[in-house]
Amino acid sequence: MSIPDLPHLGGLVFGTPLMIARPKLDTILQVLSFRLQGDSTDPAVPTGDQPFVVTPNGIAIIPVLGTLANRTFGLAAMSGLASYVRLGEQLDLAAVDPAVKGILLDVDSNGGQAGGVFDLADRVLALRGVKPVYAIADEACLSAAYALACGAERFYVTQTGAVGSIGVVALHADQSGADEKAGVRYDYITAGERKADANPHAPLSDEARATLQAEVDRLYGLFTGMVVKQRAKVSRQAGETALKSFHL
């Protein structure tokens, strides 16, 4: 991956709510830190942007693999990103293909970006009225990946599969110390209240933290409410209590 790709990848990770398992986020941060330090070694990562195949009995297998993002801008093959836009296109194709009798989401993902996931999850649920939709956690089906898969009418898990990690996280990178050591100071000239909130060249202010926390809480409410609605077997209160046990 070339260094010019870093701004896009950084924008997917820093300062925006994520629905991703924390160990996977730690791995991404480690890779990004190597990139920022000039390491050009490409880690071995899976790709999730492959076309689906149809089994002899008419089941379209749609891979949901790697880290999930709303759009990948051509980075999927080299960085292990899977696109919500691309997955939506595959679902649409499977829905109208007369050779497809059912759809299986083959999931091995620790989750990813919050933006775009709920709209795609609604499309998965809507497909249940068109064709049977199944999902399998093989091996990880965590966070945003679970948000997509929980709308399936049948959900399978391998013996060593992991399901859940229902939550939202946002990360702020404070590089002001590094800026000072490098002899660089960034001054933001802004118009509009708190336009420069959560920028990486200053510590996170209390106001910016509160704003980011409110958005994380809002998305968490959407996530838990969606899971309870789509699984539809327990009351909201009982479901939210059960959800806490999924955290990894």
> DSSP class of residue 151?
T
Q: Is residue 116 part of a domain?
A: yes
Same domain? 116 vs 188: no
Q: Is residue 209 part of a domain?
A: no
Q: Is residue 210 part of a domain?
A: no
Q: Is residue 109 part of a domain?
A: yes
Same domain? 154 vs 72: yes
Same domain? 121 vs 187: no
Number of Cβ within a 10 Å radius of residue 162? 18
**pTM, two decimal places:** 0.73
Work out the pLDDT band at 116, boundaries 50, 70, 90.
very high
Same domain? 8 vs 49: yes
Same domain? 9 vs 103: yes
Same domain? 38 vs 107: yes
> CA–CA separation, 92 vs 14, rounded Å?
31
Distances (CA, A) of 66 to 26, 102, 207, 215: 14, 23, 34, 25
Work out the pLDDT band at 205, boundaries 50, 70, 90.
confident
- Percent of the chain clearing pLDDT 70 (strictly above): 71
pLDDT of residue 246: 41
Same domain? 147 vs 236: yes
Q: In this model, does residue 33 exceed pLDDT 70?
A: no
> CA–CA separation, 61 vs 55, rounded Å?
8
Q: Is residue 222 part of a domain?
A: yes
Q: In this model, does residue 105 exceed pLDDT 90?
A: yes
Counting the structural domains of the chain, the total is 2
List active site positions.
143
Q: Is residue 190 part of a domain?
A: yes
**Residue 99, both tokens:** 């050779």
Residue type present at position 130 = V
pLDDT of residue 144: 93
> Nearest-CA neighbor of 170 among 116, 219, 221, 205?
219
Same domain? 117 vs 197: no
pLDDT of residue 235: 44
Q: Which residue has the higher pLDDT, 13 or 153?
A: 153
Per-residue pLDDT tens over the stretch 127-185: 988 999 999 998 899 999 999 999 898 899 999 988 998 999 888 888 888 888 888 88
> Nearest-CA neighbor of 111 among 157, 165, 47?
165
Work out the pLDDT band at 16, boundaries 50, 70, 90.
confident
Same domain? 140 vs 199: no
Same domain? 91 vs 188: no
Q: Is residue 47 part of a domain?
A: yes
Same domain? 227 vs 137: yes
The domain of 136 spans 3-168+217-246
**Stretch 228-242: mean pLDDT:** 57
Same domain? 180 vs 127: no
113 in Cβ contact with 68 (< 8 Å): yes
Q: Is residue 212 part of a domain?
A: no
Q: What is the CATH number of the domain that holds 48?
A: 3.90.226
